Structure 1
Amino acid sequence: MDFKHIHIGKLIQQKVDELKIDSNRIGKFLQSSEEEIAAMYHSESIDSGMLLKWSKLLEYDLFRIYSQHLILYAPTSNENLKTEVLTKDLPQFRKKLYTRELIDFILTLIKENEKTKEQIIKEYRIPKTTLYKWIEKYGK
């Protein structure tokens, strides 16, 4: 899984093929024609409302893919720059969400000597203790 370049349409089509969902069922659930569904498969991005419908149909959290991208590639927030308005109006998330796919991605980078442990800790801002726990638990 390439978390840097997300083509959500291809991922949806892959999951549909994996689950062998009939196109008629998809059309009825999404209230879309076969042409519209085919266009979604070719689209790199999809409206969040439609993505929510796909997540329900596929019983798979497609939004999590974007969360993993943010964990790996978005700059860390600076606590000093946060305004009081933002902290009051939007929910604050305390923990990062590490899926098994993300863990496997990181461990593959180490195993194939594409990045060192130090590079991963620095570039992806994964805590050292977390990385070593992953290696111990999943690295075998």
Structure 2
Amino acid sequence: MKYLEDYEIGSRASFGRYEVTREEVLEFASKYDPQPFHLSDEAAAQTYFGRISASGWHTCAMTMRMLVDNIEKEKSAGLGSPGLDELRWLKPVYPGDTLRVEAEIIDVRPSRSKPDMGSTHNRLTVFNQHDEPVMTMLSIGLVRRRPAA
């Protein structure tokens, strides 16, 4: 199990592989972000996007999937998250793109009020298959501390 004490400021990780499909882009947009440029080739052609693009919120959801898969792979003692900061969508994500994540730990803090846990602060960048950054954010993860021996 990977506990709070196992995380080091400055450490980096690269993980994930998420293939964006047209069907999923349309399904997500239909349910949660039904703007025309996420649903119609014709409408998207008249915008900055040029063609159907994934909702930024869909990009967040795909990123969350890669984060959870990585947490499970690392066997992290994760406890969820109180939120994120500085979310930016830098480039459109299109059907056919393949996404991946790079993370850097920028802070590790034991909790002042809950001695059995703490938090990691991470700078996340999501890249497409051309190594172009498409999204950045600062995420906060809650993590258990190592139990006393």
TM-score (structure 1 length as normaliser): 0.29
Structure that is richer in strand per residue: 2
Specify the structure having the higher radius of gyration (Cα). 1
Tell which has more relative contact order, 1 or 2 (C-alpha 8 A, sep 6+): 2
TM-score (structure 2 length as normaliser): 0.28
